Amino acid sequence: MIDQLIKKIQETEAPIVVGLDPMLDYVPERLKREAFAKFGETLAGAGEAIWEFNRGIIDQIWDVVPAVKPQIAMYEQFGIPGIEAFQKTAAYAKEKGLLVIGDIKRGDIGSTSLAYAVGHLGKVKVGNREYAPFTEDFVTVNPYLGSDGIRPFLDVCKAEKKGIFVLVKTSNPSSGEFQDRQIEGRPLYEWVGEQVSRWGEELMGESYSYVGAVVGATYPEIGKSLRKLMPNTFILVPGYGAQGGNGKDLKAFFNEDGLGAIVNSSRGIIAAYRQASYASFGEEGYAGAARQAALDMKADLRQAWER
């Protein structure tokens, strides 16, 4: 899957993942009216509204970016209909040729991690049959339970040729409270990064590993040191746009080959129509605004990855 991701990045010339983090607030009034007319002001109505919202965005961006990253929390808040919207979104994105990174941040004791890995990346057995309940290509994983919490993900990735992105240094303001703690003279994120690189050795694609890392755009200096520490690790970089990260700070996340990183923007793209610079699209043009925002991000990132 990492090789497919790289191929799509090269085809689109856009190391960009569009974060599908829909809030009901972002959904245009007309879409909400139609969804509520069918299902009432219910969880099912909300699920329908966010699914239709996502479909509109996917229709506008599938040919300009390689991947989408649905954030499962945004769907889980609407219960079962939200989860259905998550899966419908992932399946539709794949139908349109996009790769799907499920931002699920899972990780637990081994047996529980196995269930997460099987459910999201693999196949679950029911009697004599096997089902792939969710259809992501990659998921995000929390490493803080240690290797036995990661091992099941590695095994399923090997069997299914899928990938994971392990949290190494997150983009949020207080990520340093634990992640920057010095242990034997080095920050914890470096210990984790080193281990991610080691896990990745057993799951190599052509030049990068199926085991990637999450490193926030909001910490470019740390991005630089982690880039050196994990040369074959693909980095998923959240924190661009709404959290303050921008193209000129991101050069160090990329390798000399112009590859090695994919940058996420969620609110900055899917809610672009609410920003002054895209206001001319209006609420009805929300998906067109998302396309333009993705193209503008591509131009902004060019300075980071083009050599």
Ligand X SMILES: O=c1ccn([C@@H]2O[C@H](COP(=O)(O)O)[C@@H](O)[C@H]2O)c(=O)[nH]1
Residue 89 lies near ligand X (rule: CB under 6 A): no
- Minimal CA–CA distance to 257: which of 307, 220, 291? 307
Q: Where are the alpha helices (DSSP H) in the chain?
A: 2-12, 29-39, 43-61, 72-76, 79-95, 110-121, 147-160, 176-179, 188-201, 220-229, 267-270, 286-305
125 is known as an active-site residue: no
Strand, coil or helix: what is 24?
Answer: helix
At its nearest, how many Å lie between ligand X and the CB of residue 66? 17
Residue 243 lies near ligand X (rule: CB under 6 A): yes
297, 51 Cβ separation under 8 angstroms:
no
Size of the site for ligand X (CB under 6 A): 19
At its nearest, how many Å lie between ligand X and the CB of residue 192? 13
What is the footprint of ligand X within residues 169-198 (CB under 6 A)? 170-172
Q: Which is nearer to ligand X, 72 or 203 (CB)?
A: 72
What is the footprint of ligand X within residues 94-113 (CB under 6 A)? 103
DSSP structure class, residue 132 = -
End-to-end CA distance of the chain: 25
- Taking the mean position of all CA atoms in its chain, how far away is CA 104? 9
Q: Which is nearer to ligand X, 22 or 45 (CB)?
A: 22
At its nearest, how many Å lie between ligand X and the CB of residue 26? 11
Residue 267 lies near ligand X (rule: CB under 6 A): yes
For the window 19-38, what string marks contact with ligand X as x by the rule CB under 6 A?
Answer: x-x-----------------
At its nearest, how many Å lie between ligand X and the CB of residue 18? 9
Strand, coil or helix: what is 206?
Answer: coil
Residue 265 lies near ligand X (rule: CB under 6 A): yes
What is the footprint of ligand X within residues 151-170 (CB under 6 A)? 170
Residue 266 lies near ligand X (rule: CB under 6 A): yes
31, 52 Cβ separation under 8 angstroms:
yes
CA dihedral 153, 159, 160, 162 (to 10 degrees): 40
What are the residues binding ligand X (CB under 6 A)? 19, 21, 71, 103, 170-172, 214, 216, 238-239, 241-243, 264-268
